[in-house]
């Protein structure tokens, strides 16, 4: 019904040569492992995108993506990269709304909605991240926070446009901390997200949207997380930098 996606987010790691060699390993190890409705996405720094997209050619279930793009189409924005420039590398996905961008770079809902629009216009599928801080979880505000992030970032889209969105629930307190949301905690939020989509669009759109979990996901905890009814894969940070760990996570769907 909906695609199972394991996406790697390399963040600001790996020089050019290290990135090419990691991606080559990943392609060789996963090419016979991904089948049916499974999909693997590697979101690298911009410098690797064209080369790894070339390496992914001929592997229809392996795609590449950026980790950001700018909220304007082109022009005098020194140092920024547009969605159309990302598309020109051969990449087909872009992570938007990651908490590291929200927190360190002050990206808010309005800016993110502009990025989402431009990404879609350029033919990219946004992997749109939502998630609460520890304080917001402990004060029971997490449903409200996630609803607001969805409303500001993606719920302005039409039914048709929304079908190109992948969502990722990444609790901020679980990112890079070794603390993972329990399968029950994650499932509770994933079900909430799916209900919000159904309420805003309809059940068919909700049932066909892939919602990934991210936050200290590794080969040990991925099987329990991915077996939850509303978890459709993972957005993997640290463990995506080791080919063996990343491929173990990809293989969870074959077990
Ligand atoms: P970690 O897997 O390193 O916790 O990172 C998760 C993440 O932020 C993926 O986007």
Of the candidate ranges 79-93, 172-186, 200-214, the one whose mean pLDDT is the lowest: 172-186
In terms of pTM, does the model score above 0.75? yes
Residue in the block written with tokens 């039409």: 158
Q: Report the distance separating Cα 210 and Cα 230, nearest Å.
A: 8
Q: What residues flank ligand 1, with Cβ below 6 Å?
A: 9, 98, 170, 175-176, 214-217, 235-239
Residue range 215-227: mean pLDDT, rounded? 97
- 3-class secondary structure, 69: coil
Residue 117 has what pLDDT? Answer: 98
Q: How far is the CA of 46 from the centre of ligand 1 (A)?
A: 18
Q: In this predicted model, what pLDDT tens digit does every residue of 113-131 receive, in sequence order?
A: 999 999 999 999 999 999 9
The pLDDT score that the predictor gives to residue 35 is: 87
pLDDT greater than 90 at residue 135: yes
Residue % of the chain over a pLDDT of 90: 95
What's the CA-to-centroid distance between 42 and ligand 1, angstroms?
A: 13
- 192: tokens are 């909430």
Place of tokens 């394991």: 6
Asked if the model's pLDDT at residue 47 lies above 80, the reply is yes
CA 122 to chain centre: 18
Helix-strand-coil split of the chain, %, nearest 5: 45, 15, 40
Altogether, the residues listed in the chain come to a count of: 255
pLDDT at 170 over 90: yes
Confidence of residue 1 (pLDDT cuts 50, 70, 90): confident
d(C-alpha 214, C-alpha 166), whole Å: 13
- Domains in the chain with CATH codes: 5-254 (3.20.20.70)
Distance CA 172, CA 163 (A): 26
H/E run at residue 183: helix 183-200
Average pLDDT over residues 169-198: 95
Q: Which of 191, 182, 110 is nearest to 149 (CA)?
A: 110
Index of the ligand 1 atom closest to the CA of residue 240: 2
What pLDDT was estimated at residue 88? 98
Instruction: Show the tokens assigned to 216.
Output: 């200290």
Among 243, 196, 193, 202, smallest CA distance to 219 is for: 243
Other C-beta atoms closer than 10 Å to the C-beta of 138 total 11
Q: How far is Cα 213 from Cα 180, in angstroms, rounded to an integer?
A: 10
pLDDT tens digits, one per residue of 7-32: 999 999 999 999 999 999 999 999 88
The residues assigned a catalytic role are 98, 170
Centre of ligand 1 from the C-alpha of residue 11, in Å: 9
In the prediction, which pLDDT does 255 show?
A: 78
Per-residue pLDDT, 218: 96
* pLDDT on residue 32: 86
């Amino acid at each position: 019904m909906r695609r199972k996606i394991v996406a790697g987010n390399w963040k600001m790691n790996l020089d050019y040569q290290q990135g090419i060699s990691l991606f080559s390993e990943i392609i060789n190890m996963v090419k016979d492992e991904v089948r049916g409705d499974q999909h693997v996405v590697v979101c690298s720094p911009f410098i690797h995108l064209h080369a790894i997209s070339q390496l992914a050619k001929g592997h229809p279930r392996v795609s590449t993506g950026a980790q950001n793009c700018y909220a304007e189409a082109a022009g005098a924005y020194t140092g920024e990269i547009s969605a159309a420039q990302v598309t020109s590398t051969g990449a087909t996905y872009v992570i938007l709304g990651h908490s590291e961008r929200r927190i360190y770079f002050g990206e808010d809902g309005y800016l993110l909605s502009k990025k989402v629009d431009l990404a879609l216009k350029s033919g990219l599928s946004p992997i749109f991240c939502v998630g609460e801080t520890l304080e917001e979880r402990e004060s029971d505000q997490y449903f409200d926070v996630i609803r607001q992030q969805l409303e500001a970032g993606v719920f302005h889209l039409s039914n048709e446009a929304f079908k190109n969105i992948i969502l990722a629930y990444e609790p901020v307190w679980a990112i890079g901390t070794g603390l993972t949301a329990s399968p029950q905690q994650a499932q509770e939020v994933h079900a909430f997200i799916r209900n919000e989509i159904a309420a805003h669009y309809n059940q068919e759109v909700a049932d066909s949207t892939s919602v990934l979990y991210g936050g200290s996901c590794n080969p040990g905890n991925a099987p329990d997380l991915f077996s939850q009814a509303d978890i459709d894969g993972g957005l993997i940070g640290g463990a995506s930098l080791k080919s063996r760990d990343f491929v173990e996570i990809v293989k969870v769907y074959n077990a």
